[in-house]
Amino acid sequence: MSTLYQLLLKLDVSDLEAAKSAWESLARKLETAHKDHRRHVTGPLANWHGDSAKAGKPVLDTLQGQLEAAHVDALLIATVLDTAAVNMKQAQTDLKNAIKSAEQDDYVIDDTTGQVSLPQWLIDAHHDPDQATVLPDYTKAMTGHQDKINQAIKDAKKASDDGEKAIGDVRAQLLDEEDALGQTAVEARDVAKHLGIGPYGIPDGKDVKENAEWWKHLSHDEQQTYIAMYPKQIGALDGLPAVARDEANRLLLDQYLNPAPPDHTINADQFNKQQDGLRALKKKLDAADGAPKGRELYLLKLRQEGDGRAIVAMGNPDTAKNTAVLVPGVNSDLRGAGGEIDRINALRSSARKIHPNESTAVISWLDYDPPNENVFDSDFDLGVVSTGRAKEGGEALRHFTEGTRAAQGGHHSNLTVIGHSYGSTTVGAGAAGGHGLGADNIIAVGSPGMTVKHAGDLNIDPKHVFIGAAKDDPIINNFAGASLGSDTRNDTFGARHFKVDTSGHSGYWDYINGQPSESLTNQGRIITGEPITTTPARNPDRYSGNIPNPFPNVPQGIK
């Protein structure tokens, strides 16, 4: 203990701080190298085919993963060094304060051992009859001073030992392993455990403005450390910049695709289904890495559990003049990510054709569990004719649009929220609750209902609620007005109706003879604030209940 006392008293952590800064600098260089490789090498070569591609692409993908893993490792090492330096410096401060406090009370501190002795005047007064009276109190206080000194030394030793163990968690041979990115998740968890670092500083996410302010006041290196250690929490935090969420979620995606250790909580079929969805999403993201400005993709949220969830933006919603959010309907999961991204690309292209000089971002928002055909909710209601999932999803959608506004700061983008099929039910539930979606426009296409009777119930001027309905849309013709709210086609609903020239339930984003359909063009007009071509609303029809059974395997009559 005496040697440690002297070492701590003379401790100089400047070398640790310098090493921490050097590793942070290296991490920034690796971060740049990884992003440049993704945007300028693998991105532009996404459509590379042939024998050369078969040989070269795996090498490039491996290199990209190694750069990302090295970036994470450099941040972890910098975090270990910084934590050790801070904790040891704090222990030194505690030691000096304990010494000062003891000396102010006249106790004597041995310069070599740190041993606390009684005040000299009390020792000299051994013949004084009052000494016996005060001695117990002084002895007790002496023990207290000694305990503080000993505790400071123990804290310093623990900081040193924890740092040594945490450094050992970052394995030098990691980059040679096929599952390097999966292993970084394990390393980050182990480092956090040994250092006693938890995600305690991260906001609980409920207040999007608080989230935005917290992130804004972190340094770049602090932000990068949070992303490296807690990508899932950071990537899901509404209110944070799109760039930060994208970086966190791409790291999370790569870690999910390189699971280590394997997740044994699900069966093989479910695991393979998840991996298929993740690979489909990654393929689309990789293909867009070399895209021109405005068409780049941002992964704003990712969840692999169940059928998977993802929020993907084309264009940066934090800075775009116009922003649209597309909410998909039934049977949507990660395996269909490619189709959803094609749709937001069509919407963005339509808006850009109308206003080429205005920036437009379009978001595919799959952050709820849409019902599948023949799937029952826990209360035995048929999911596709129940508002339960829509209301749950509507709350999440409302939180997301609030977060989008918070991330934009003082910039107010023209925000349009579009719901397709059961997604329009979710949009309706979100708009009807709380203070609404904060949208400038709401569009419903192929809608079986929006959970409300009138467009005026959506916390928005009904003149800014737009309905698109194909005449042969089977979902509208079979379900509109049944159990998910009023039939949005009716004039009594109070919305505006735009011309639809496409067919079926999924044709609202189609091209006709190589040109954007009027259905698609009208959505582009709404997104950019331009007049639409309209069609009359129909007169109210009474719902008879005698509809064809679209789900023959499900018994009817369930209400």
Q: What one-character-per-residue DSSP string does 6-33 give?
A: HHHHT---HHHHHHHHHHHHHHHHHHHH
Question: Nearest Cα to 408, choosing from 321, 340, 283?
Answer: 321
User: Is 221 part of a structural domain of the chain?
Assistant: no
What are the respective helix, strand and coil percentages of the chain, to the nearest 5? Answer: 55, 10, 35
User: What pLDDT is stored for residue 548 in this prediction?
Assistant: 44
- Bridge partners of 498, per DSSP, are 534
Containing 477, the helix (H) or strand (E) segment is helix 474-479
User: Is 546 part of a structural domain of the chain?
Assistant: no
Q: Of 164, 180, 195, which residue is a domain's last?
A: 195
Where residue 33 sits, what CATH number does that domain have? 1.20.1260
One domain for residues 277 and 128: no
Distance set, CA 454 to CA 224, 267, 326, 476, 509 (Å): 47, 45, 21, 17, 26
User: What pLDDT is stored for residue 265 in this prediction?
Assistant: 63
Distance set, CA 248 to CA 34, 125, 234, 298, 523 (Å): 14, 68, 6, 10, 31
User: Is 341 part of a structural domain of the chain?
Assistant: yes
One domain for residues 410 and 279: yes
- Bridge partners of 290, per DSSP, are none
Helices (DSSP H) in 105-207: which residue ranges?
Answer: 120-124, 131-169, 180-195
User: What pLDDT is stored for residue 287 in this prediction?
Assistant: 86
One domain for residues 155 and 256: no
By the 8 A CB rule, do 398 and 362 touch? no
User: Is 449 part of a structural domain of the chain?
Assistant: yes
Tens place of pLDDT per residue across the chain (559 aa): 568 899 999 999 999 999 999 999 998 999 999 888 888 888 788 778 888 877 887 888 888 888 888 888 888 889 899 999 999 999 999 999 999 999 999 899 998 899 999 888 877 776 676 667 778 888 899 999 999 999 999 999 999 999 888 888 887 766 666 667 777 878 888 888 888 777 878 999 999 999 999 999 999 988 998 999 999 999 999 999 999 999 999 999 988 887 655 556 667 788 888 888 899 899 899 888 878 888 999 999 999 887 788 999 999 999 999 999 999 988 777 888 888 999 999 999 999 999 999 999 999 999 998 877 543 344 433 556 678 889 999 999 999 999 999 999 888 899 999 999 999 999 999 999 999 999 999 999 999 999 999 999 999 999 999 999 999 999 999 889 888 999 999 999 999 999 999 999 999 999 999 999 999 999 999 999 999 998 888 766 544 433 444 444 433 332 2
Beta carbons within 8 Å of 280's beta carbon, 6+ residues apart: 334, 335, 336, 337, 338
Distance set, CA 264 to CA 196, 261, 278, 375 (Å): 27, 9, 18, 25
Q: What is the DSSP letter of 42?
A: I
Q: Of 195, 225, 255, which residue is a domain's last?
A: 195
Containing 511, the helix (H) or strand (E) segment is strand 511-512
Number of H helices, E strands in the chain: 16, 12
Q: Which domain holds residue 289?
A: 247-527
Q: Of 162, 195, 228, which residue is a domain's last?
A: 195
SS3 330: coil
One domain for residues 362 and 495: yes
Q: What is the rounded distance in angstroms from the CA atom of residue 510 to the CA atom of residue 343?
A: 9
One domain for residues 288 and 180: no
User: Is 555 part of a structural domain of the chain?
Assistant: no
One domain for residues 180 and 298: no
One domain for residues 87 and 13: yes
One domain for residues 110 and 252: no
By the 8 A CB rule, do 42 and 61 touch? yes
User: Is 377 part of a structural domain of the chain?
Assistant: yes
Question: Could you give the angle at which helices 51-104 and 2-9 cross, rounded to 10 degrees?
Answer: 100
Please count the residues of the chain: 559
∠ CA 483-484-489 to the nearest 5 degrees? Answer: 105
Burial class (CB in 10 A: 0-12, 13-18, 19+), 75: buried
Where residue 485 sits, what CATH number does that domain have? 3.40.50.1820
User: Is 220 part of a structural domain of the chain?
Assistant: no
Peptide bond into 552 cis (omega under 30): no
One domain for residues 274 and 401: yes
One domain for residues 173 and 263: no
Question: Nearest Cα to 275, choosing from 225, 221, 323, 333?
Answer: 333
Q: How far is CA 93 from the centre of its chain?
A: 38
Question: Nearest Cα to 255, choosing from 338, 179, 188?
Answer: 179
Q: Is 420 left (phi over 0), alpha (psi -120 to 50) or beta?
A: beta
Q: What is the rounded distance in angstroms from the CA atom of residue 439 to the CA atom of residue 22?
A: 46
> Does the reported pTM lie above 0.75?
yes
User: What pLDDT is stored for residue 289 in this prediction?
Assistant: 85
Q: Is 163 left (phi over 0), alpha (psi -120 to 50) or beta?
A: alpha
Beta carbons within 8 Å of 542's beta carbon, 6+ residues apart: none
Q: Is 299 left (phi over 0), alpha (psi -120 to 50) or beta?
A: beta
Containing 102, the helix (H) or strand (E) segment is helix 51-104
Secondary structure of 223-281 as H, E, C letters:
HHHHHHHCHHHHHCCCCCCHHHHHHHHHHHHHHHHCCCCCCCCCCHHHHHHHHHHHHHH
One domain for residues 251 and 184: no
- Bridge partners of 516, per DSSP, are 511
User: Is 205 part of a structural domain of the chain?
Assistant: no
Distance set, CA 69 to CA 27, 40, 257, 263 (Å): 10, 19, 14, 20
Question: What domain count does the chain have?
Answer: 2
Beta carbons within 8 Å of 532's beta carbon, 6+ residues apart: 466, 496, 498, 499, 522, 525, 526
> What is the bridge-based pairing of β-strands 360-366 and 322-327?
parallel
Structure tokens given for 175:
């980059």
One domain for residues 184 and 296: no
Containing 327, the helix (H) or strand (E) segment is strand 322-327
